[in-house]
Amino acid sequence: MKPSLSTLPLRSARWPGVAGLLRNQGQRGRWLGGLLGLALVGGCAAVGTSSDPATALQSATRLTWGASVPAVAALSRSSAQAWLDAQLRPSSAPPTLPGPVQAQINAMTISQRPVAELVADMVQQRQAANALPDDAAKQAARNAWQQEMNRLAREAAQRHLLRAVYSPRQVQEQMTWFWLNHFSVFQGKGEIRAMLGDYEDSAIRPHALGRFRDLLGAVVRHPAMLQFLDNAQNASGRLNENYARELMELHTLGVDAGYTQRDVQELARVLTGVGVQTKLGGDQPRLPAAQQALYVRQGLFEFNPRRHDFGPKVFLGQPVPGQGLAEVDQALDRLARAPATARFISGKLAHYWLSDDAPRALVDRMAQTFQRSDGDIAATLRTLFTSNEFQRGAGGKFKDPMRYVVSALRLSYGDTPILNTAPALGWLNRLGEPLYGRQTPDGYPLNDSAWSSSGQMETRFELARAIGAARPDLRQAVEPPVPGSPAAAPTPPAAPLPAPDGAHALYGQPPGADALGARTRQALGQAKSPAEWNALLLSSPEFMRR
């Protein structure tokens, strides 16, 4: 029997609301437990192929970052199949975003300056700061450098969040987040904060729905990954195995694929000489005549044959002749086409999109598609999305913090431009899943239990109340202080705008209202204000899952 809100330990038939819930400390713990239990078994109906409004709502809930009035309207205008076809094979042209949103992105430094120039500038600033003889001046210069590095990382996070909320290419945006998490880098190391925007836009997003081998190759050559996993220090005679190990364990084969420590060492030898050069321009380093043609410099990426181990190697049971950078491509081909990689990637995709325990038969079929299509990610996803298991698995996935926050914003704000992303980025920090904030290379966990604790739920209720009431209001821009002006001078707060109405527009009447349980509808019917209505919906068991 499917649980309902009537199973919750409430003192009366009326749902107490988020504000009342948070005031009632005695009830809170039991209520949280009850709601959590309900959330773990509730959810929306399956994805179908017709374009009726109810099915469009179901599809939008599962295949986008979160249902919204515009997303449901787009799905209602065409069949779900046609919509999915367009999502899986998006144009290479930039997507159309709301004008004020695109204007924010265009104004960012990471959108205006090439990464090589940006990183070289930041390296130069750091070196100049460290060379200052006066301690106070040195510390001030270092602080200024840190602030600028933080600002660049914040731009990358703001851009990612805005695209997640507004891009019409929702499957591509979700897969961009998925691969950023799969190929996770931590922003706090080296110059990575200045590289994040380019890492996402040149290495990840263009290949998010393409061939896995192309994605893998782009990541291997990106300076953010090479710095994060220390391959920039990997050289002949000074072997560093970090990247080689994670490349096999986390990025391709998986931990239980049967490779050996010898394979890790051999792959590390293959990767020697693959590194980062942060100086702009300059001459090619002095090399023996036989190695000069093997030197490669592309932006910040460098392959220096002087640092490479040219000895013969044996990797995954097959020889790798010493030939320089070509060895890397040979090893990546071997990794990308291994049956273990097909199973590992397919299992992780099913885990992300469907459930913690996706059916083995489905994962096997996805792995077959992956191998048959030479690692075509979109084809593998199509096998998943069109499967009976996926249709039966609606509501099988509890939202992680990123999905909870983005889906709440998409539902509440719709096409209304968000001009202040700082609160939303702060919410992701509070929920433990900030963009580019995972310190270990394994990425954030994808399982339900990692995000469904009582503390997590309590914070979500607080955020539901804030988002529902638009406090702070993300529709109002926060103007940066003009250099030289009295920035500390207080300015009067802007007049508050009404609570966002997107949630009510979608769930205030059928078919949205029909997707909610009777007890949720009853509680919403007793809300005393639009803000309270929003908060109750964003706290409901149905909204916690997809």
Please state whether the peptide bond connecting residue 133 to the residue before it is cis, i.e. omega within 30 degrees of 0: no
End-to-end CA distance of the chain: 20
Please name the residues in contact with 545: beta carbons below 8 A apart, sequence gap of 6 or more: 39, 40, 42, 43, 44, 395, 396, 397, 398, 399
Report the alpha-carbon distance of residue 355 to residue 348 in Å, rounded: 10
pLDDT score, position 477: 82
pLDDT score, position 492: 54
Report the half-sphere exposure of 451 (CA within 13 A, side-chain side).
25
Token pair for 531: 């803000």
> HEC string of 429-490?
HHCCCCCCCCCCCCCCCCCHHHHCCHHHHHHHHHHHHHHHHCCCCCCCCCCCCCCCCCCCCC
CA distances from residue 259 to 265, 278, 316 in whole angstroms, order as listed: 11, 34, 7
Instruction: Classify each residue of 131-146 as buried b or exposed e, where b means 16 or more C-beta atoms within 10 Å of its C-beta.
Output: eeeeeeeeeebeeebe
Among 308, 212, 296, smallest CA distance to 268 is for: 308
Give me the helix-helix angle, 422-430 and 401-413, nearest 10°.
150
Report the alpha-carbon distance of residue 289 to residue 153 in Å, rounded: 41
Give the distance, in angstroms, between the CA of residue 367 and the centroid of all CA atoms in the same chain: 23
Give, in degrees to the nearest 5, the angle at Cα 421 between 416 and 425: 135
Identity at 123, one-letter amino acid code: V
Tell me the β-bridge partners of 298. Answer: 301
pLDDT score, position 447: 95
Report the alpha-carbon distance of residue 308 to residue 323 in Å, rounded: 10
- The three-state secondary structure class of 57 is helix
pLDDT score, position 489: 52
CA distances from residue 409 to 204, 303, 427, 468, 475 in whole angstroms, order as listed: 24, 44, 12, 9, 11
Tell me the β-bridge partners of 376. Answer: 211
What are the two backbone dihedrals, phi and then psi, of residue 235, each rounded to the nearest 5 degrees? -145, 160
pLDDT score, position 493: 57
- The three-state secondary structure class of 373 is coil
Residue 484, sorted as left (phi over 0), alpha (psi -120 to 50) or beta, turns out to be left
Please name the residues in contact with 523: beta carbons below 8 A apart, sequence gap of 6 or more: 5, 14, 15, 17, 536, 540
Radius of gyration in angstroms for the set of CA atoms belonging to the chain, rounded to a whole number: 25
For each of the chain's 546 residues, which pLDDT tens digit applies? Answer: 333 322 222 223 333 444 444 344 444 444 444 444 444 444 333 344 446 888 899 899 999 999 999 999 888 887 778 889 999 999 888 899 999 999 999 999 999 999 999 999 999 999 999 999 999 999 999 999 999 999 999 999 999 999 999 999 999 999 999 999 999 999 999 999 999 999 999 999 999 999 999 999 999 999 999 999 999 999 999 999 999 999 999 999 999 899 999 999 999 999 999 999 998 876 788 899 989 999 999 999 999 999 999 999 999 999 999 999 999 999 999 999 999 999 999 999 999 999 999 999 999 999 999 999 999 999 999 999 999 999 999 888 999 999 999 999 999 998 899 999 999 999 999 999 999 999 999 999 999 999 999 999 999 999 999 999 998 989 988 765 455 544 445 555 566 678 888 999 999 999 899 999 999 999 999 999 999 999 999 999 999 999
pLDDT score, position 11: 29
Token pair for 328: 């890397």
Please name the residues in contact with 134: beta carbons below 8 A apart, sequence gap of 6 or more: none
Report the alpha-carbon distance of residue 362 to residue 380 in Å, rounded: 11
